Amino acid sequence: MKKIIIGLLLLVFVSAVAQSNIQKASFKVNGVCDLCKKTIEKSLQINSVQAAIWNPDSKVLKVKYDASLISLDSIQKRIAAVGYDTEKYKASDSTYTNLHKCCKYEREK
């Protein structure tokens, strides 16, 4: 019985520590349509990201992630890797060129 109680307390402690690493952030991601939304959000469907919601009107992505597993920089790099410019990273020209024609947004120079 004592081992069970200690085990449960340890489980609660580990859960509390894991929750303390959860961060929320929002930043601009260029894009224009629902297909962009699907691609941007899908690029973040990984274990270290709990939620990612991009708004096509405001161009703002809201993300909830485990900072002990992934950095905000890595999140922005993942988005740039699928063709969308973020505040910090620009997608490669070839990746941008391969986006569907409805997804071509005006790029900053």
pLDDT tens digit sequence for 17-39:
555 799 999 999 999 999 999 99
Domain assignment present for 36: yes
Distance (Å, rounded) from C-alpha 66 to C-alpha 44?
12
Q: What is the pLDDT of residue 51?
A: 98
Domain assignment present for 60: yes
pLDDT along the chain (109 residues), means of 10: 66 58 97 98 97 98 97 98 98 97 91
Q: What is the pLDDT of residue 19?
A: 56
Residue 53 belongs to a domain with what CATH number?
3.30.70.100
The answer to whether 54 and 31 have CB atoms below 8 angstroms apart is: yes
Distance (Å, rounded) from C-alpha 108 to C-alpha 75?
20
Tell me if residue 99 falls in helix, strand or coil. Answer: coil
Domain count, the chain: 1
Domain assignment present for 75: yes
Q: Which residue has the tokens 């620009």?
A: 90
Q: What is the pLDDT of residue 14?
A: 57
Distance (Å, rounded) from C-alpha 59 to C-alpha 18?
30
Choose among 29, 44, 42, 43: nearest CA to 107. 29
Q: What is the pLDDT of residue 109?
A: 75
Strands annotated E in the chain: 22-28, 49-55, 60-66
Domain assignment present for 91: yes
Query: For residue 34, what are the domain limits?
Result: 23-103
